[in-house]
Amino acid sequence: MQIATTTITLTDNPLKIDEALGNPQWRERWKAVGVRKGDLRQFLAAEFSMSMESLGYIKQPLDRMKLVRSDDKNLPLYYLALFSRNETAYRFWNDVLKYGTDQTSFWE
C-alpha cells in the first residue's frame, strides 16, 4: 500500500492562501524571512494569527496552537488554534492544551 503525501508549496494555488490570510503580501514576508520550506506551516500559522489580530482578535503565538500530526508517519499537518476577543476563552483553551491528548481517531 502506498500513501501519497502532500507538500505545501508556493505554487499550489497561491490565491487560496491569499484568501485564507486575507493578505497577499505574505509572499514578500516569506521571501524576506528566508524560512526553509519545511517551516511554511509555522509561517502561515503566524501570518493567520496576525490577520486575526487585525480583525480585533487576541493574537496567538505558535506555542499556544496545537500541532496536529498524521496518523501514519507522524508528519505535521496543520495547527489548531482558538481566536477570541475575550481573555476568558483562553482559560478553557489552556485546559485543552494542558489536558488534551493526541486523538488519532474518532472511534477510539
Tens of pLDDT along 55-64? 999 999 999 9
CA distance 31 to 29: 5
Lowest mean pLDDT among 7-16, 57-66, 83-92: 7-16
Rounded to an integer, what distance in angstroms lies between the CA atom of residue 55 and that of residue 34? 27
- Domain with 66, as residue range(s), is 14-99
Q: Say if 9 falls within a structural domain.
A: no
Q: Is the model's pLDDT at 8 over the cut of 60?
A: no
Supply the pTM of this predicted model.
Answer: 0.73
* In-domain check, residue 70: yes
Instruction: Give me the pLDDT at residue 23, please.
Output: 85
Q: Per the domain annotation, does 7 fall within a domain? A: no
Indicate the number of domains in the chain.
1
In the block, cell 508528519 appears at 75
Cβ-based burial of 60 (10 A; exposed 0-12, middle 13-18, buried ≥19): buried
In a domain, 44, yes or no: yes
Does the residue 62 lie in any domain? yes
